[in-house]
């Protein structure tokens, strides 16, 4: 059976890869339609068309859609249900340069790649013939094809299948996860209408070596979280010929950058697994024109990975770091000013600047005390105006809101306002505490014990690449989510998460993916043997195990 399954998965992978589906483009729907067509041709769904549907994304100018297929087993009338997800979008193809037109044609691409410079490892893998190259092969059309093919195999004999398997082929995973977010709400509806008892959410996204020469195949029982701590920096403008009369916002912004970027002191940890440090994704000043005036306003934000810290804790940490950085700038300004005064024989007087950092929520309270209801009204109006531009980046939306709030404050002294930009991905990991977690871990142990292969397969806690699995649950501590809501301008307007549905789902998650290398690079490649012959067997056994 598994040999035929492997062939089927390989064929379907190529077929799905051939349909270009770059995230954020109308092409995403083409691959969704192909997936829908494939399901609709299976005898089970011909007989049960009501179990196959599109789920449309919300607030999406592109009107993208995901596909949800429900296989209901007849054995023992079980309500146990496993949710499996696979994304159908890919990142862009411009990294392939002159051979971009072959990016989604793996069979031709292999030869074309020889025209480009390749790393020794990529060249070795290309020459070995053991790898399949192409955009989306590895991330993650192979995984999606695996789930589709397994569901098809199981659907041939529903009377022998115990439990239910829901497969969601989701769009926009490489972007804002709008596909998964709509599916989460669909799952809650299905739970109510069908009485499904969800066991876990299974993803089959890629798994790659974690360090040079790493040959282990990983299964993950959890996923890393992501926050985007952001800072709006207000300095004091001055003439560049008289700079000590001001505070350059770029100076403060750079100090925050220096304090946090790639600083492992800010890594988050749990169960002996440590995240990557904060990584800056933007740093920019906000001066609209050239002039000999120092910068008054700047902003920057970071990708902040989490394993255990909730948004309230991360904000606290960020405020401390920014305060330290700001103070450093003021100390250094005083030092340099003293030297400058001494060398010019001017009298030195300590500069008036005070380092201060406050959160968006704190600033809102201060301005509200001054302006009352007028503030809420002004912020609502701005939000409504910004909402008219449906292509406005969510991060710019948040920035504009912070700017407006700060503008309405009577205090014009230098300050750093900390806030969150979208998106937010909660971390999840399986702790072996509740019955669902116990079931998941014992199932995996059994699966690994009973699956023979030549590979070294290990279980790790955190899927490290950010995934839609994050939305299978949300923190339940009141403070955690409130801190996020109150410090993310535009929350509930420009950026929405179905927090209640996520909290209600509250499921353990796992990822069993194909093996390969260089996702999001033009050397993206999938190792055939493990990906087509071994990973699908692990997935298949896990599905049956979790539902038994």
Binding site for Zn ion (CB under 5 A): 139-140, 205
| Residue 414: Cβ-neighbour burial (10 angstroms; 0-12, 13-18, 19+) | buried
- Tell the smallest beta-carbon distance from residue 407 to Zn ion (Å): 40
CA dihedral 517, 35, 30, 137 (to 10 degrees): 10
The distance of closest approach from Cβ of residue 140 to Zn ion in the complex, given in angstroms and rounded to an integer, is 4
Residue closer to Zn ion (CB basis): 23 or 255: 23
Largest CA distance in the chain: 94
Phi-psi region of 195 (alpha: psi -120 to 50; beta: other; left: phi over 0): left
Of 134 and 545, which CB lies nearer to Zn ion in the complex structure? Answer: 134
CB 514 within 8 A of CB 530: yes
The nearer residue to Zn ion, 406 or 525, going by C-beta atoms, is 525
Our CB check for Zn ion shows the closer of 152 and 205 to be 205
Contact at 8 Å (CB) between 39 and 69? Answer: yes
Query: Shortest gap between Cβ of 249 and Zn ion (angstroms)?
Result: 37
* Cα–Cα distance, 125 to 113 (Å, whole number): 12
Q: How many CB atoms lie within 10 A of CB 188?
A: 17
Q: Which residues pair with 219 in a beta bridge?
A: 459, 512
Question: Least separation, in Å, of the C-beta of 87 and Zn ion?
Answer: 6
Contact 99, 69 (CB under 8 A): no
In the complex, residue closest to Zn ion by CB? 139
Nearer to Zn ion, 96 or 196 (CB): 96
Write down the least CB distance from residue 515 to Zn ion, Å. 14
Name every residue whose Cβ is closer than 8 Å to that of residue 288 and which is 6 or more positions away in sequence.
none
Contacts of 344 (CB under 8 A, 6+ apart): none
Smallest separation, CB 147 to Zn ion (Å): 13
Q: Which is nearer to Zn ion, 205 or 268 (CB)?
A: 205
Q: 229, 256, 260: which is closest to 423 by C-alpha?
A: 229
Nearer to Zn ion, 45 or 220 (CB): 220
Question: How does strand 273-274 pair with strand 269-270?
Answer: antiparallel
Site of tokens 């955690």: 480
Q: To the nearest whole angstrom, how small is the minimum distance from the Cβ of residue 465 to Zn ion?
A: 7
Residue 221 makes CB contacts below 8 A (sequence gap 6+) with 429, 430, 440, 441, 444, 459, 460, 461, 508, 509, 510
Give whichever of 219 and 405 is closer to Zn ion, judged by the CB atom: 219
Which C-beta is closer to Zn ion: that of 28 or that of 205?
Answer: 205
Of 206 and 420, which has the nearer Cβ to Zn ion?
206
Q: Is 158 exposed, middle or buried (0-12, 13-18, 19+ CB in 10 A)?
A: middle
Burial call 307-319: b when 16+ CB within 10 Å, e when fewer: bebbbbbbbebbb
Query: How far apart are CB 145 and Zn ion at their closest, in Å?
Result: 13
Distance CA 111, CA 124 (A): 14
Closest CB 172 distance from Zn ion, rounded Å: 11
Phi, psi of 297 (to 5 degrees): -130, 140
CB of 324 to Zn ion, least distance (A): 36
What is the nearest approach in angstroms of Zn ion to the Cβ of residue 169?
13
Length of the chain: 548
Distance between CA atoms of 109 and 103, rounded to whole angstroms?
A: 6
| Of residues 24 and 158, the one with the C-beta less far from Zn ion | 24
């Amino acid at each position: 059976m598994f040999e035929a399954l492997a062939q089927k998965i390989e064929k379907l992978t190529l077929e799905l890869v051939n349909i270009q589906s770059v995230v954020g483009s109308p092409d995403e729907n083409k691959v969704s339609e192909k997936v829908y067509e494939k399901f609709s041709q299976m005898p089970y769904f011909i007989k049960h068309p009501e179990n196959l549907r599109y789920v449309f994304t919300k607030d999406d100018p592109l009107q993208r859609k995901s596909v949800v297929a429900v296989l209901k087993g007849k054995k023992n009338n079980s309500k146990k249900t496993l949710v499996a997800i696979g994304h159908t979008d890919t990142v862009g193809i411009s990294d392939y340069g002159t051979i971009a037109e072959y990016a989604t044609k793996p069979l031709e691409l292999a030869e074309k790649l020889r025209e480009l410079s390749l790393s020794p490892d990529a060249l070795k893998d290309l020459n070995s013939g053991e790898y399949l190259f192409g955009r989306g092969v590895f991330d993650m059309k192979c995984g999606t094809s695996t789930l589709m093919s397994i569901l098809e195999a199981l659907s041939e004999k529903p009377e022998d299948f115990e439990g239910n398997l829901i497969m969601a082929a989701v769009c926009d995973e490489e972007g804002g996860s709008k596909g998964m977010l709509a599916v989460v709400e669909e799952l809650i509806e299905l739970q109510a209408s069908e009485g499904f008892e969800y066991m876990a959410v299974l993803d089959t996204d890629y798994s790659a070596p974690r360090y040079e020469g790493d040959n282990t195949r990983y299964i993950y029982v959890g996923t890393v979280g992501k926050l985007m701590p952001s800072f709006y920096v207000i300095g004091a403008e001055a003439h560049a010929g008289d700079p000590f009369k001001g505070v350059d916002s770029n100076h403060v912004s750079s100090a925050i950058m220096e304090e946090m970027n790639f600083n492992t002191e800010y890594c988050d940890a749990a169960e002996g697994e440590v995240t990557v440090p904060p990584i800056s994704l933007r740093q920019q000043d906000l001066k609209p024109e050239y002039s000999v005036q120092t910068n008054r306003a700047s902003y920057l934000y970071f990708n902040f990975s989490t394993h255990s810290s909730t948004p309230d804790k991360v904000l606290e940490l960020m405020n401390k770091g920014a305060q330290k950085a700001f103070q450093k700038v003021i100390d250094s300004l005083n030092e340099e000013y003293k030297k400058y005064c001494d060398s010019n024989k001017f009298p030195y007087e300590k500069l008036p600047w005070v380092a201060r950092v406050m959160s968006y929520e704190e600033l809102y309270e201060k301005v509200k005390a001054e302006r009352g209801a007028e503030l809420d009204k002004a912020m609502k109006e701005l939000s409504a105006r910004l909402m008219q531009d449906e292509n406005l980046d969510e991060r710019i939306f948040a920035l504009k809101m912070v700017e407006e709030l700060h503008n309405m404050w009577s205090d014009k002294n230098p300050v750093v306002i900390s806030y969150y930009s979208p998106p937010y991905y909660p971390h999840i990991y399986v702790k072996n505490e509740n019955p669902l977690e116990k079931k998941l871990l014992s199932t995996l142990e059994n699966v690994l014990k009973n699956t023979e292969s030549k590979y070294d397969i290990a279980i790790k806690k955190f899927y490290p690449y950010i995934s839609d699995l994050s939305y299978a649950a949300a923190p339940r501590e009141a403070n955690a989510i409130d801190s996020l809501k109150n410090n993310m301008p535009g929350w509930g307007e420009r950026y929405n998460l179905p927090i209640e549905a996520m909290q209600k789902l509250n499921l353990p998650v796992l990822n069993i993916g194909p093996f390969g290398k260089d996702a999001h690079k033009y050397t993206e490649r999938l190792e055939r043997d493990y990906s087509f012959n071994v990973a699908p067997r692990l997935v298949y056994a896990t599905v049956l195990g979790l539902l038994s």
